[in-house]
Amino acid sequence: MSLSSPDVLDRPAARPARRPLTVAIVGATGAVGAELIACLERRGFPVGELRLLASPRSAGQTLSFRGAPVTVQALDEDSFDGVDLALFSAGASVSRRYAPAAQAAGAWVVDNSSAFRMDEATPLVVPEVNAWRLDEAPGRLIANPNCVAAIAAVALQPLHARRLVVRIIGATYQAASGAGAAAMEELRASTAAALAGEAFTPQVLAHPYAFNLFSHDAAVDPETGYNGEELKVIAELRRLLASPELPASFTCIRVPVLRAHAMALTVRFAEPVSVAEARAWLAEAPGVRLVDDVAGNHFPMPSEASGADEVLVGRIRTDLSDPSRRSLSLFVAGDQLLKGAALNAVQIAEALVRTGAL
């Protein structure tokens, strides 16, 4: 089967004959790591041995997989002996240092960090959007996109496939989980403190988080005035939509939500597109759940996106500021830990299994 076949999309791996795989998770104790373990289990990924890797701080801790305890090991250069698939989610510096060791051991690497996403030789993949790029991974290394870029691409691809997207303006409402498990804990603790009327000093994020929101913590580029997150989203969306010059602008904001990102997107197309057309295309798109109940004022919400595999899309309307009627505005919500990270990584691995690449 070719990787460009629709069959690679969003179906759990049913691995027929070959041996079960040895799978390593780097960053197993983190927020994404926990979801990687859960996704492998609930989607029936053909795991023979699961190797859980983290920093020496976590060595000896046990986590559960299929009801059995698995001991966390400290990551080192020898961690990948016999590993078929290594799922990395411990930050870019860890990926840069250890992904080569995994590749040298013969493993396929799916990397959730930003380390290789803009590397031309490394496919940046959301299976619903560009699974065909998995055919082009000579280094057996696949990059998993930034969470906002992945979620936006799932919502935009069904439209882009019919009417070329020519401009995107977006504003994001990003959850704590994007900054890791410690930031999620800081949201809980700071909210509890605020409700109790107690003082709270932020430890993880730069600003008070309870009942507040603030610009994403990535450093601002002095030349453009955009922060690192905004620049990543723009660059990665261009890659995912195979539109290298696509004009795009984002404002990325951290909001006090635990694990689902939301975003308002205003998108211009090369030709006019009606709301009815967009709704019909999105309703049948893989990985999308249309949530567009105008009468009930029910649109995508982080509370309903949390824990969901699908990206929720709604509030679809013609952009009144574009007299050519070539622009739509939409509101989108997706689970940052799932489609924005762990689920997408596991779907990439499933696509590799289905085609026999892995």
Residues that bind ligand A2P (CB under 6 A): 27-31, 33, 54-55, 57-58, 75, 90-91, 94, 180-182
CB 26 → ligand A2P: shortest distance, Å?
6
Residue nearest to ligand A2P (CB): 30
Q: Active site includes 39? A: no
Rounded CA separation 10/18 (Å): 21
CB 218 → ligand A2P: shortest distance, Å?
15
Instruction: Name residue, tokens 């930031």.
Output: 183
Choose between 33 and 287: whose C-beta lies nearer to ligand A2P.
33
Mutual orientation of helices 228-240 and 147-160 as an angle, nearest 10°? 40
CB 135 → ligand A2P: shortest distance, Å?
30
Choose between 254 and 268: whose C-beta lies nearer to ligand A2P.
254
Mutual orientation of helices 181-195 and 31-42 as an angle, nearest 10°? 110
Q: Active site includes 252? A: no
Say which of 39, 252, 261, 298 is annotated catalytic.
261
End-to-end CA distance of the chain: 13
Specify the 3-state DSSP secondary structure of 329: strand
CB 55 → ligand A2P: shortest distance, Å?
3
Residue type, 110: V
Choose between 58 and 266: whose C-beta lies nearer to ligand A2P.
58
Choose between 27 and 170: whose C-beta lies nearer to ligand A2P.
27
CB 115 → ligand A2P: shortest distance, Å?
13
Choose between 58 and 344: whose C-beta lies nearer to ligand A2P.
58
Say which of 147, 160, 216, 252 is annotated catalytic.
147
DSSP at 126: -
Specify the 3-state DSSP secondary structure of 22: strand
DSSP at 124: B
Rounded CA separation 49/70 (Å): 10
3-state per-residue secondary structure call for 221-287:
CCCCCCEHHHHHHHHHHHHHCCCCCCCEEEEEEECCCCCEEEEEEEEEECCCCCHHHHHHHHHCCCC
Choose between 98 and 250: whose C-beta lies nearer to ligand A2P.
98
CB 58 → ligand A2P: shortest distance, Å?
3
List strands edge to edge, sheet with 85-88: 73-74, 47-54, 21-26, 85-88, 108-111, 141-143
CB 350 → ligand A2P: shortest distance, Å?
23
Which runs of consecutive H residues, i.e. helices, occur in 62-221? 92-104, 127-130, 147-160, 181-195
CB 164 within 8 A of CB 242: no
List strands edge to edge, sheet with 248-254: 214-215, 248-254, 165-174, 260-269, 327-335, 311-318, 288-290
Q: Which residues contact 269 (CB under 8 A, 6 or more apart)?
A: 159, 163, 164, 165, 166, 326, 327, 328
Choose between 55 and 318: whose C-beta lies nearer to ligand A2P.
55
List active site positions. 147, 261
